[in-house]
Amino acid sequence: MTHDIVSGDEAASTGPLAGTLVVDLSRALAGPHAGMMLGDLGARVVKIEAVGSGDETRRWGPPFVGPENDRQSSYFLSCNRNKESLALDLKSAADIRILTALLERADVVIENFRTGVMDRLGLSMTRLHEINPRLVILSITGFGHDGPEAARAGYDQIVQGEAGLMSITGSGPDDPQRVGVPIADLLSGMYGAYGVLAALIERTTTGVGTVVRTSLLSAVVGVHAFQGTRVTVADEVPQAQGNHHPSIAPYGLFECADGSVQISVGNESLWQRLCERFGIDGADPLLVDNAQRVRHRGHTIEVVERAFAAFNAAELLAALSEAGIPAGTVRSLDEVYRWDQAISQGLLLEVEHPTLGPIELPGPPIRFFTTDGDAERETTKRRHLPPPLLDEHGPSIREWLGEGATR
pLDDT (average), residues 324-328: 97
One domain for residues 131 and 262 = no
CA distance 83 to 5: 12
Reported as type and span, the H/E element at residue 39 is: helix 30-40
One domain for residues 98 and 212 = yes
Q: Give the percent of the chain with pLDDT over 70.
A: 96
- Mean pLDDT taken over the chain: 93
Q: Is 291 within a domain? A: yes
One domain for residues 18 and 128 = yes
Q: What is the pLDDT of residues 132-167, one digit of tens each?
A: 999 999 999 999 999 999 999 999 999 999 999 999
pLDDT at 8: 45
Q: How confident is the model at residue 285 (pLDDT cuts 50, 70, 90)?
A: very high
Q: What is the pLDDT of residues 256-283, one digit of tens each?
A: 999 999 999 999 999 999 999 999 999 9
Q: Is 344 within a domain? A: no
One domain for residues 210 and 256 = no
One domain for residues 196 and 137 = yes
One domain for residues 137 and 272 = no
- Find the CATH number of the domain harbouring 309: 3.30.1540.10
Q: What is the pLDDT of residues 70-79, one digit of tens each?
A: 899 999 999 9
Q: What is the pLDDT of residues 206-219, one digit of tens each?
A: 999 999 999 999 99
Q: Is 80 within a domain? A: yes
Q: Is 290 within a domain? A: yes
pLDDT (average), residues 343-366: 95
Domain hosting 178: range is: 8-224+363-406
Range with the lowest mean pLDDT among 82-91, 114-123, 218-227?
114-123
Q: Is 397 within a domain? A: yes
- Find the CATH number of the domain harbouring 106: 3.40.50.10540
Give the count of beta carbons closer than 10 Å to the beta carbon of residue 146: 10
pLDDT at 405: 55
What residues contact residue 51 under an 8 Å CB cut-off, 6+ apart?
87, 88, 89, 95, 391
Helical spans, DSSP H, in 207-296: 216-221, 225-232, 268-278, 290-295
Instruction: Assess contact for 42 and 17: CB atoms under 8 A.
Output: yes
Q: Is 274 within a domain? A: yes
Type of residue found at 318: A
One domain for residues 212 and 279 = no
Q: Is 312 within a domain? A: yes
Q: Choosing from 40, 107, 185, 391, which is the catalytic residue?
A: 185
Instruction: Assess contact for 112 and 141: CB atoms under 8 A.
Output: yes
**307, 328, 349 — which closes off a domain?**
328
One domain for residues 150 and 285 = no
Q: 7 pLDDT exceeds 50?
A: no
Q: What is the pLDDT of residues 21-52, one digit of tens each?
A: 999 999 999 999 999 999 999 999 999 999 99
Q: 176 pLDDT exceeds 90?
A: yes
| Number of domain units in the chain | 2
One domain for residues 166 and 298 = no
Active-site annotation holds for 372: no
pLDDT (average), residues 76-104: 95
One domain for residues 44 and 130 = yes
Q: Is 337 within a domain? A: no
Q: 293 pLDDT exceeds 90?
A: yes
CA distances from 356 to 69, 223, 340, 387 (A): 12, 37, 25, 11
**303, 328, 353 — which closes off a domain?**
328
Q: What is the largest CA-CA distance in the chain?
A: 81
**304, 328, 352 — which closes off a domain?**
328
One domain for residues 94 and 191 = yes
One domain for residues 56 and 188 = yes
